[in-house]
Amino acid sequence: MDCNKGAPESLCWLNGEIMPVTQARIPVLDHGLLYGDGVFEGIRFYRGRAFRLQEHLHRLSDSAAAIGLPLPLDQEALAAAVADLIEAFAVPEGYLRLVVTRGEGPLGLDPTPCKRGNVFIIAAQMALVDAEKCRRGIRVIIAATRRLPVDGLDPRIKSLNYLNHILARMEAGNAGAQEAILLNARGHVCEGSADNVFIVRNGALLTPPVSDGVLDGITRRVIIELAAQAGIVCREQTLAPYDLYTADECFLTGTGAELIPVREIDGRLLKQCPGSAYTCLQQQFHALIRKDLGSTNQ
């Protein structure tokens, strides 16, 4: 994620009030901070409107339900908060980070004394699609750090626990790469540190199934829909590192990343970058945004 520092000023909606992000404060006894006990969403807005907001709010509500965290606001109130924050933000395109924590409680893991979660939404500007990355593709590595096992923390829960993803990203940085792909405990491909993985092999678009331990990404869902519309065969399939190394093309998808082509994996150059499936789906993705969010209200 490339957030531009400085202008326009990042804003925060915190429990009902909008303020500069530098003034927003969370108590140190919040269990979100102490234990990573909370859930979040990353949401893009374009043309003054949030993209796939209902899907994000639905996933947030499922994540919260899965960890037994009552959301302090219903979906309608959250959507209103998002709209108010986008309206207050200086420009019509950017990134939102919506976080719900368990709230304040005494030290100790027991969540029951935490009576009310804190809700905050940060609005920040993001470099639009990084043209250079889209043109040249990025270098990725397969990280030694593994994705948390499905029976440890279900990957469909978008929780505040991202430490192993951060460790994987550090491995990428140390190797001079821009992103890391995490495997599951069985050595199968899961996803990037903050994005889903697609490859093209033998004319088919392939992505690992959620049951292999990946986040059910909203951009991933959009790409699967768009591939069907474009007549590209797309399947969920368990993948090994071998499948990545020998793929015709590979790209990553996510709210922050949108679609980024991969040029090189662990030093192996892919056959096409950007490939034809990537180029087609990237165009379709931007056409869909224009179609869904056509009218600008700023």
What are the C-alpha distances in Å from 251 to residues 170, 181, 182, 258?
20, 11, 14, 10
Residue 122 parent element (H or E): strand 119-124
Three-class SS state of 84: helix
Q: What is the largest CA-CA distance in the chain?
A: 56
Per-residue mark of binding to ligand PMP, 101-140 (x: CB under 6 A) = ----------------------------------------
- Closer residue to ligand PMP (CB): 71 or 214: 214
- Closer residue to ligand PMP (CB): 10 or 253: 253
Per-residue mark of binding to ligand PMP, 167-196 (x: CB under 6 A) = ------------------------x--xxx
Minimum Å distance from CB 173 to ligand PMP? 17
**Tokens at 274, concatenated:** 């950007």
Minimum Å distance from CB 258 to ligand PMP? 9
Is residue 145 close enough to count as binding ligand PMP by CB under 6 A? no
Is residue 217 close enough to count as binding ligand PMP by CB under 6 A? yes
Out of 255, 265, 277, 293, the only residue in the binding site for ligand PMP (CB under 6 A) is: 255
Residues binding ligand PMP: what is the number (CB under 6 A)?
14
Minimum Å distance from CB 97 to ligand PMP? 10
Q: Would you call 121 exposed, middle or buried from its count of C-beta atoms within 10 A (0-12, 13-18, 19+)?
A: buried
* Dihedrals phi, psi of 218, to nearest 5 degrees: -75, -35
Answer left, alpha or beta for residue 66, where phi above 0 means left and psi between -120 and 50 means alpha: alpha
Estimate the share of the chain in helix, then strand, then coil, as percent rounded to the nearest 5: 30, 25, 40
> In the beta sheet, which residues pair with residue 60?
none
Out of 105, 254, 274, 275, the only residue in the binding site for ligand PMP (CB under 6 A) is: 254
Minimum Å distance from CB 165 to ligand PMP? 6
Q: Which stretch binds ligand PMP (CB under 6 A): 12-20, 214-222, 226-234, 284-292?
A: 214-222
What are the C-alpha distances in Å from 247 to residues 91, 195, 240, 251?
39, 18, 11, 11
Is residue 42 close enough to count as binding ligand PMP by CB under 6 A? yes
Minimum Å distance from CB 255 to ligand PMP? 3
The catalytic residues are 158
- Closer residue to ligand PMP (CB): 114 or 252: 252
Residue 66 parent element (H or E): helix 53-66
**Tokens at 298, concatenated:** 């700023």
Closest residue to bound ligand PMP by CB: 217
- Closer residue to ligand PMP (CB): 32 or 254: 254
Question: Which amino acid, 23?
Answer: Q
Question: Which amino acid, 12?
Answer: C
**Residues near ligand PMP (CB under 6 A):** 42, 165, 191, 194-196, 215, 217-220, 253-255
